[in-house]
Amino acid sequence: MKNALKFYIDGKWVEPSTTATIDVINPSNEEAFAKIALGTAADVDKAVKAARKAFPGFMAMSKKDRLDLLNAVIAQYEKRIDDLAHAISQEMGAPLAFAKESQVGIGMAHLKKMAETLKTFEFEKAKGTAMIRREPIGVVGLITPWNWPLNQITCKVAPALASGCTMVLKPSEVAPLNAVIFAEIMDAAGVPAGVFNLVNGDGPTVGQAMSAHPDIDMMSFTGSTRAGILVAKAAADTVKRVSQELGGKSANILFPDVDLEMAVTKGVQGCYGNSGQSCNAPTRMFVPRERMSEAAKYAKAAAEKFIVGAADAPGTMLGPVVSQIQFDKIQNLIESGIKEGADLVTGGPGRPAGLNRGYYVKPTVFANVQPHMRIAQEEIFGPVLSIMGYEVLDDAISEANNTVYGLASYLQAKDRAKAREVAKLMRSGNVYINYPTWDAGLPFGGYKQSGNGREYAEYGIEDFTEIKGIAGYEAA
């Protein structure tokens, strides 16, 4: 990849300020297959200056012109679908079909939804004799994670473009190559110089420099709660807006009237999607206590159908997790579940049989998990499901909300009216009833330590804009 060792700044591929690099590791075999440059504060400053210079002109661009630009990005994205899929499959271990259909596909969905949204979005509204305007907040810093890289890049870049902001993107250094291709897409689409800038690097250096930079007006961050706190602290001195989508420990409540086999099977599938590396994965399954053994039996059967293997191996359903750090964290939590007395139903420590190299995790299910256990409290970010029992539904609701996180909740019930009532009680930014189809038009974000702000569609545009009230706009 010719541009992997460069940054995209002010409409050009430029050399970094230093020669420092980092290897990109293929988690399927633990081998380095590419290198990227590591940026510094000097590179960030150069990118921010380009974005600041471009802002007045881009802010003044008409909505129609910004819509045309979004459609041009969509057209170029379409041309690079295979390149994006192969990059993501190699750098984060996603099976190739999943990388193409889901990882790359979700990015396209966000771009198209934003173009659709922008057509009818009203940036000005009359209120009596006043005018209420939404105006671009300015230069935005975007920090995106490795687990759904194109999802997070597009659901930040698209509303920034739509609202008239200029931007600096720092993707995860763990899975950065898809972002390099995305920068090539932006360039090919004719995005004006300085509107979109890409600087690769790590959080303590590039992320910190962006968060503290006085000429960045807003930080939009997706990642761990720990790192999100550091971004917010660094941003505090310049009183910039900080929008965050952070960790999760989502509950999946199976009501007493549910078809248990179907609900458990789909719950396992939801938990294990993307090798369990989703912040909103339904990792805590609540079932009526008297049906615990039945639920465990169904979960075991569902989990053991998942074929674990290399991203490019035929038939692979679960690829590796992304890194040695993630692998070690997951193994530690699985060991803690056993030590603390949860019932190991299937899976467990170590790699699956025959997979001695690569960051492969056994699809794991624990039953009779108690609320105090680490596997019930901590975000595991791997294919590990914790099944917890409840006596009455109110107990399940209370325990589901008993977490520092609040990103998503899942409810499975035949009585949909009851589910709708319970949805109002869940302390999470999203509630999903009976495993619905994903919708790019819903607001996405969390309560509590799962973050603040909302992404997707018009909610993304609103996040990237300031509200201005102009009194006396019309004669009284």
The strand pair at 241-245 and 12-14 is best described as unpaired
pLDDT digits 0-9 by tens, 378-420? 999 999 999 999 999 999 999 999 999 999 999 999 999 999 9
pLDDT of residue 403: 97
What's the average model confidence in pLDDT over 367-387? 98
Taking all residues of the chain, what is their mean pLDDT, rounded to a whole number? Answer: 97
State how far the Cα of 139 lies from the Cα of 219, in Å rounded to an integer.
9
Residue 148 has pLDDT above 90, yes or no: yes
Distance, CA of 258 to chain centre: 30
List pLDDT tens digits, range 18-49: 999 999 999 999 999 999 999 999 999 999 99
Cβ neighbors of 222 (< 8 A, separation 6 or more) are 143, 144, 145, 152, 156, 244, 245, 246
381, 410 Cβ separation under 8 angstroms: no
Residue pair 225/449 in contact (Cβ under 8 Å)? The answer is yes
Contact 376, 369 (CB under 8 A): yes
Check residue 473 and give its pLDDT.
93
With contact defined as beta carbons under 8 Å apart, do 326 and 295 qualify?
Answer: no
| Model pLDDT for residues 164-212, shown as the tens digit of each residue | 999 999 999 999 999 999 999 999 999 999 999 999 999 999 999 999 9
The predicted-structure confidence for 426-461, as pLDDT tens digits, reads as follows: 999 999 999 999 999 999 999 999 999 999 999 999
Q: What pLDDT does 474 receive?
A: 87
The conformational region for residue 296 under phi > 0 = left, psi -120 to 50 = alpha, else beta, is: alpha
Predicted confidence (pLDDT) per residue in 250-272, tens digit: 999 999 999 999 999 999 999 99
Check whether 160 has a pLDDT greater than 90. yes
Provide mean pLDDT across the span 58-80: 98
Separation between Cα atoms, residue 240 and residue 320, nearest integer Å: 37
- Phi, psi at residue 429, to the nearest 5°? -70, -25
Q: Which of 271, 268, 266 is nearest to 281 (CA)?
A: 271
296-318 pLDDT per residue, tens: 999 999 999 999 999 999 999 99
pLDDT of residue 130: 96
Report the phi/psi class of residue 175: left, alpha or beta, with left for phi > 0 and alpha for psi in -120 to 50: beta
pLDDT at 2 over 60: yes
Q: Could you name the CATH architecture of 7-246+450-470? A: 3-Layer(aba) Sandwich (3.40)
pLDDT digits (tens, 9 = 90+) for 347-360: 999 999 999 999 99
Q: Is the pLDDT of residue 475 over 80?
A: no
- Domain ranges in the chain are 7-246+450-470, 250-440
Whole-model pTM over 0.85: yes
Q: What is the pLDDT of residue 228?
A: 96
Catalytic residues: 245, 279
Q: 1 pLDDT band (50/70/90 cuts)?
A: confident
pLDDT of residue 476: 57
| 174 closest CA partner among 333, 320, 8, 2 | 320
User: 83 pairs with which residues across the strands?
Assistant: none
The domain defined by 250-440 folds into Aldehyde Dehydrogenase; Chain A, domain 2 (3.40.309)
Of all residues in the chain, what percent carry a pLDDT higher than 70?
Answer: 100
Percent of the chain whose pLDDT exceeds 90 = 99
Residue 325 pLDDT greater than 80, yes or no = yes
